Amino acid sequence: MAVITAIETVTREQYLQRQYTGAAGPTPAIEDSALLERWRAEFPDWRGKYWAFTTDDRDVLRLRPINVVAAQAA
């Protein structure tokens, strides 16, 4: 299994699309606080707000922290 050290950053639109399909969400949806603390320790660049299922190098879905780009003013 490959070790992932970088946080994926997605646009607000990409996040909303993933959230609509159930493949992403806000961290309060995760009840395992030990997991969130581990993510905070392993990924210092993570803002701590969102997660998503992402595929690894073997096309296996994994639960990972993600960052979402702030919405741009119109």
Secondary structure element (H or E) that encloses residue 42, with its range = helix 33-42
Rounded Cα–Cα distance for residues 27 and 30 (Å): 5
Give the mean pLDDT of the chain: 89
Domain count, the chain: 1
CA distances in angstroms from 24 to 12, 18, 55, listed in the order given = 12, 5, 13
Q: Does residue 13 belong to any structural domain of this protein?
A: yes
Asked whether residue 40 carries a pLDDT value surpassing 90, the answer given is yes
Q: Does residue 30 belong to any structural domain of this protein?
A: yes
Parent domain of 39: 8-68
Instruction: Pick the closest to residue 48 from 28, 18, 70, 71 (CA basis).
Output: 28
Asked whether residue 4 carries a pLDDT value surpassing 60, the answer given is no
pLDDT at position 63: 93
Q: Does residue 74 belong to any structural domain of this protein?
A: no
Instruction: State mean pLDDT over 65-73.
Output: 85
Q: Is the pTM higher than 0.85?
A: no
pLDDT at position 1: 45
Q: Does residue 3 belong to any structural domain of this protein?
A: no
